[in-house]
Amino acid sequence: MKSIYSFSLEELTAEMLRLGQSKFRSKQIFAWLYKKNASNFDEMSDISKDFREVLKANYDFNLPSPTITQESRDGTVKCLFKLDDGEEVESVLMHYIYGYSVCVTSEVGCNMGCAFCASGLLKKKRVLLPHEMLGQVIAFDKYLKKKDPALGVTHVVVMGTGEPFDNYDNVLSFVRIVNSPFGLDIGARHITISTCGIAPKIVKFGKEGLQVNLAISLHAPNDELRDKLMPINKAYPLEVLIPAIIQYQKDSGRRVTFEYILIKGVNDSIDEARELFNLIAPTFGYVNLIPYNPVMENGFERSPDENIELFHDFLLQKGVKSTIRKEFGSDIDAACGQLRAKYAKK
Ligand code: SF4
């Protein structure tokens, strides 16, 4: 049976029409799910008893909830969620000056094989359905509201385990539920999808009419190094990726952000900063520099602060809008995939 939380408003409207109902029915159901926090169909008092029985026969209220919660001294919270089939995924809540952001996992494991990533140590078993991603956001929202009813999740980034564009349709339904004023009502500019660079999907995404942010995990300024760090580069090398990004920007009117993890002695020299500048100059994209969060299994190390500063200063001098990402949860299993990997081993 499909979870009622798996439908975007547009998809639920199509379902209701299929069941012989009016268009309005989907908005009523959305209001019960996301504004009145109903936990079963019987609470939906403005829907006839007969149709509530039809709903019960067709859909359930399945929404994953956390089994393990780790809290960091800096306010970062990491949760492990057990899914219906026994698979486990993790998700992180981060506190910024501007609000609370949830980093959502989109697949159980990942096949993209990025050399620096803890998530990639566990191969992809399946994609997540929209309600399984939504459960991560709703769980953290409840966690915050329990502390203070005035708090809540303000930002969503699809940047956890998995490649979102490898699970394109489910991720888009999820994003539409999060963004809809009838759903979680989180503004498009507060939602970010991060891809490792599946060029055809980047172009497709630009034509969806969504105003959410797109981040490109770049991590290397040339094909030779990117081939080593990110195998996806062999399928979509930089000469394919950069034009796809330019096309996306043209169609969507939105500028991308390049994510660049700084790894000591691998990609953090001034020569590489120069190469990066030359590569992305035609896109006018932003750069988010990320000090590497070491994963024991691969031997990579975090760049020293001095290299990070020099790299950052070089980009700024060249006129590139660039920031250094704040580090979170150093006292918990903060790198994406570490918590799940730890429990999977056990
Ligand atoms: S960085 Fe992202 S795309 Fe690459 S292996 Fe990890 S989860 Fe997959």
d(CA 216, CA 285): 10
Kindly tell me if the per-residue pLDDT of 145 is higher than 90: yes
Kindly tell me if the per-residue pLDDT of 21 is higher than 80: yes
The encoded tokens of residue 97 equal 């000056």
d(CA 62, CA 130): 11
What are the helix (H) ranges across 73-160? 130-147
Report CA(338)–ligand 1 centroid distance (Å): 12
pLDDT of residue 152: 96
Kindly tell me if the per-residue pLDDT of 343 is higher than 50: yes
| Ligand 1 contact via 335 beta carbon (within 6 Å) | no
pLDDT of residue 333: 55
Q: What is the dihedral of CA 328, 332, 337, 342, to 10 degrees?
A: 170
Instruction: Mark residue 9 as left, alpha or beta (left: phi above 0; alpha: psi -120 to 50; beta: remaining).
Output: alpha
Closest-lying ligand 1 atom to the alpha carbon of residue 162:
7
pLDDT in tens, 151-198: 999 999 999 999 999 999 999 999 999 999 999 999 999 999 999 999
pLDDT of residue 119: 74
| Ligand 1 contact via 290 beta carbon (within 6 Å) | no
Q: Which residues does the annotation mark as catalytic?
A: 90, 336
pLDDT of residue 73: 85
| Ligand 1 contact via 196 beta carbon (within 6 Å) | yes
Q: Report, as an integer, the average pLDDT of 54-80.
A: 91
pLDDT of residue 336: 55
| Ligand 1 contact via 110 beta carbon (within 6 Å) | yes
Q: Where in the chain is the domain with CATH 1.10.150.530?
A: 2-60
Report CA(207)–ligand 1 centroid distance (Å): 24
CB-side neighbour CA atoms (13 Å) of 54: 12
Q: Is residue 296 very low, low, confident or very high in pLDDT (cuts 50, 70, 90)?
A: low
Q: Is domain 2-60 in CATH 3.60.20.10, yes or no? A: no
Question: Which residues have CB under 8 Å from 257's CB, separation 6+?
Answer: 192, 213, 214, 215, 216, 285, 286, 287, 288
Starting at the earlier edge strand, list the strands of the sheet with 322-324: 66-71, 77-82, 88-96, 99-103, 155-158, 191-195, 213-217, 257-262, 286-291, 322-324
CA-to-CA dists, residue 78 to 136, 160, 195, 324, angstroms: 10, 11, 22, 22
> Residue 202: exposed, middle, or buried by beta-carbon count in 10 A (0-12, 13-18, 19+)?
buried
Nearest CA to ligand 1 atom 4: 114
| Ligand 1 contact via 162 beta carbon (within 6 Å) | yes
C-alpha angle 233/286/255, rounded to 5°? 85
Lowest mean pLDDT among 193-197, 272-276, 295-299: 295-299
Question: Which residues have CB under 8 Å from 341's CB, separation 6+?
Answer: 118, 119, 121, 122
Round the average pLDDT of the chain to a whole number and report it: 93
Q: Of residues 328 and 169, which shows the higher confidence score?
A: 169
Q: Is residue 241 very low, low, confident or very high in pLDDT (cuts 50, 70, 90)?
A: very high
* Nearest CA-CA partner of 195 in 165, 220, 171: 165
Closest-lying ligand 1 atom to the alpha carbon of residue 160:
7
Say which residue the tokens 């500019």 belong to: 189
pLDDT of residue 331: 59
| Ligand 1 contact via 295 beta carbon (within 6 Å) | no
pLDDT of residue 326: 78
Report CA(268)–ligand 1 centroid distance (Å): 20
| Ligand 1 contact via 261 beta carbon (within 6 Å) | no
Q: Is domain 66-345 in CATH 3.20.20.70, yes or no? A: yes
Q: Where in the chain is the domain with CATH 3.20.20.70?
A: 66-345
Pocket probe for ligand 1: among 89, 108, 114, the residue whose CB has the most ligand atoms within 8 Å is 114
pLDDT of residue 346: 46
Closest-lying ligand 1 atom to the alpha carbon of residue 113:
5
pLDDT in tens, 76-89: 999 999 999 999 99
pLDDT of residue 179: 98
d(CA 132, CA 115): 27
pLDDT in tens, 102-132: 999 999 999 999 998 877 678 999 999 999 9
pLDDT of residue 338: 53
Closest-lying ligand 1 atom to the alpha carbon of residue 120:
5
Q: Report, as an integer, the average pLDDT of 56-62.
A: 96
Report CA(88)–ligand 1 centroid distance (Å): 17
Q: Is residue 147 very low, low, confident or very high in pLDDT (cuts 50, 70, 90)?
A: very high
d(CA 107, CA 119): 10
Q: Report, as an integer, the average pLDDT of 306-311.
A: 97
